Structure 1
Amino acid sequence: MRAALTVLYRAAEFLGAVFLVLIGVLIVSQVFARMIGRMVPGADELAGYCMAASFFLMLGPALRRGAHIRVGVLIERLRGGARKGMELACLLFATALSGYFAWFWLRMTYDSYDFGDLGQGVLPIPLWIPQAAMAVGLVILVVALLDDLLAVLMGRPASYESAGMQSEG
């Protein structure tokens, strides 16, 4: 199971990086096109979709690496059972909230597909395509939070704790 989760997190990281590269490609192509008096139709909206996809796909892997900004003023002062209880409460709340967002984002993506919603920009892009990348990122975040919740329940440190990055306190 751990190997499958590692592959999932790395695939999300890779796809997030691909979307970041695509943003760069779109911006550079737009710059060069303007230099010769042309335009790349829809480059701005495509770059926006790529930015959203990259951000959401990187949420789970960022949690695993301890890269999310966390305020640890309270939890870092707690010890023993109090700390574990607070950690579990925070993970449970984050998992529930993220699960709520993921569920409704998946429903919205399906509705966009079902209704045939198109983007309002120059290119009539079906909205379910960029929404699907965001939904996948939210689901991966929920999986990562559940992974950490189970780890803490079993007495192991959460991935962000063992990643070696200190929280902002």
Structure 2
Amino acid sequence: MRTALSILYRAAEILGAVALALIAVLIVTQVASRLFGRMVPGADELAGYCMAASFFLMLGPALRRGAHIRVGVLVERLRGGARRAMELLCLAFATALSGYFAWYWLRMTSDSYEFGDLSQGVLPIPLWMPQATMAAGLVVLVVALVDDLLAVLQGRPASYQNAQMQSEG
């Protein structure tokens, strides 16, 4: 199971990086085409979709690496059972909230697909495509949160705590 989860997190990370690279390609192509008096139709729109895809796909891997901005002022002052209880409470709340967003984003993506919604920009892009990358990122985040919640329930540190200990040590 750990191998499958590692592959999932790595795949989301790679896809997020590919989306970032596509932004760079679109920008360079747009700049180069302007030198020749041309334009790439919809480049701004596509770059925006790639930015959203990159952001959402990187949510789960960033959590696992301890790269999320966390407000640990209270949690870091607690010790023992109180700290564990607060970590569990925070992880449970984050899992529930992220699960709620993922569920409704998946529903919206499904509706966009069923209704054939198209973007309003220069290129008529089916909206379910960029929405699906965002939904996938939210699902990976929920999986990562559940993974950490189960770890803390079993008495192990969360992934972001392991990452923090490794960076400090």
Q: TM-score range by the shorter chain?
A: over 0.9
Deviations 1:64-91 (A, max 9, x none): 0000000111000000100000000000
Identity of aligned residues (%): 82
Check whether the contact 1:106–1:132 (CA below 8 A) recurs between aligned residues. Answer: yes
* 1:91-110 → structure 2 map (5 Å cutoff): 91-110=91-110
C-alpha distance in 2 between matches for 1:74 and 1:88: 14
Which residue does 1:128 correspond to in 2?
A: 128
**Does the residue aligned with 1:73 lie in a helix, a strand or coil?**
coil
Deviations 1:106-162 (A, max 9, x none): 000000000000000000000000000000000000000000000000000000000
* Displacement over 6 Å in runs of 4+: none
1:164 positional shift: 2.0
Which residue does 1:111 correspond to in 2?
A: 111
Which residue does 1:43 correspond to in 2?
A: 43
**Does the residue aligned with 2:45 lie in a helix, a strand or coil?**
helix
Which residue does 1:73 correspond to in 2?
A: 73
Which residue does 2:53 correspond to in 1?
A: 53
Check whether the contact 1:67–1:165 (CA below 8 A) recurs between aligned residues. Answer: no
**Which residue identity does 1:7 align to in structure 2?**
I
TM-score (norm 2): 0.97
**Which residue identity does 1:160 align to in structure 2?**
Y
1:165 positional shift: 6.4
Gaps of 5+ in 1: none
Check whether the contact 1:102–1:139 (CA below 8 A) recurs between aligned residues. Answer: yes
Change (3 A) 1:87 1:120: same
TM-score (norm 1): 0.97
Which residue does 2:161 correspond to in 1?
A: 161
Change (3 A) 1:125 1:33: same
Gaps of 5+ in 2: none
C-alpha distance in 1 between matches for 2:120 and 2:138: 24
Check whether the contact 1:66–1:165 (CA below 8 A) recurs between aligned residues. Answer: no
Change (3 A) 1:88 1:13: same
Q: What is the aligned-residue RMSD (CA, Å)?
A: 0.9
